[in-house]
Amino acid sequence: MTKSSKAIYKKADTFSKLAKTHGYRSRSAIKLLEIQKKDNFIKPHAKVLDLGSSPGGWSQVSNEIVGKNGLIFGVDKKIMQPLKSVHFVNKGLENLCESDFEVLNENILPFDVVLSDIAPNISGIRDRDNALMDAILIEIRQCIDNFLKVNGTALCKVFHGENFDKLMIYMKTNFQKVKIRKPDSSRANSKETYILGVGKKK
Ligand SMILES: C[S@@+](CC[C@H](N)C(=O)[O-])C[C@H]1O[C@@H](n2cnc3c(N)ncnc32)[C@H](O)[C@@H]1O
């Protein structure tokens, strides 16, 4: 292992420990906390849709911010162990429909915030990985179009490459402001980046 890769793993380990100390289920929770600290885009009382929510780190962080009068709704094709006052549906995004958002006989749509920390299982075969990410981004964009309110905010993970440019075009077309975020807790050698779209256009 080279000196710089050792430093990267040491840093990643620090963030894993930090997440564990605070009782978060994922190291990713720290990434969301960092972006939230900078942009303050999740507000108390907000309704948040967390796409690819399992094991639940982002849902935990969002739940702390929105408080008792807010609402978190997680979606994942993998099961997520229950989290107090977080709603969850065990489905792939491609199968989501409006009726999934019935809570206590009331439809809770639309959301104030849509989050996506989804990534495909990377194979290392560039064309295959790009195609998988492309397919997921189509589903995510559909969720934003259908389930996010006008003026709402979306945060999406994407990997640098063709998909990044495509998502940027979508975000710039559909949001008033677009910001690129690479939190310190995201590994420096990882191509992952987060795009934040503020103020969904009509
Ligand atoms: C990096 S993890 C999310 C971690 C989460 N933000 C946290 O803090 O705990 C990505 C998740 O996306 C989910 N996922 C991937 N493709 C999906 C799809 N098409 N529909 C729903 N969930 C998907 C995976 O099952 C995985 O749990």
pTM, full prediction = 0.94
- Domain 3-200 sits in CATH 3.40.50.1010: no
Please identify which residue in the block is written with the tokens 């934003």.
144
- Whether 43 contacts 63, CB under 8 Å: no
C-beta 136 within 6 A of ligand 1: yes
Angstrom distance (rounded) from CA 199 to CA 175 = 5
6 given a catalytic annotation: no
Whose CA is closest to atom 8 on ligand 1?
57
Cα–Cα distance, 139 to 107 (Å, whole number): 21
Model confidence pLDDT, tens digit, residues 1-60:
566 656 655 666 889 999 999 999 999 999 999 999 999 999 999 999 999 999 999 999
93 lines ligand 1 (CB under 6 A): yes
Residue boundaries of the structural domains of the chain = 3-200
pLDDT (tens digit, 9 = 90+) per residue, 42-58? Answer: 999 999 999 999 999 99
Ligand 1 contacts CB of residue 117 (under 6 A): yes
Q: Whose CA is nearest to atom 5 of ligand 1?
A: 53
Residue given tokens 């963030």 in the structure block? 15
Which residue of the set 17, 157, 182, 200 is catalytic? 157
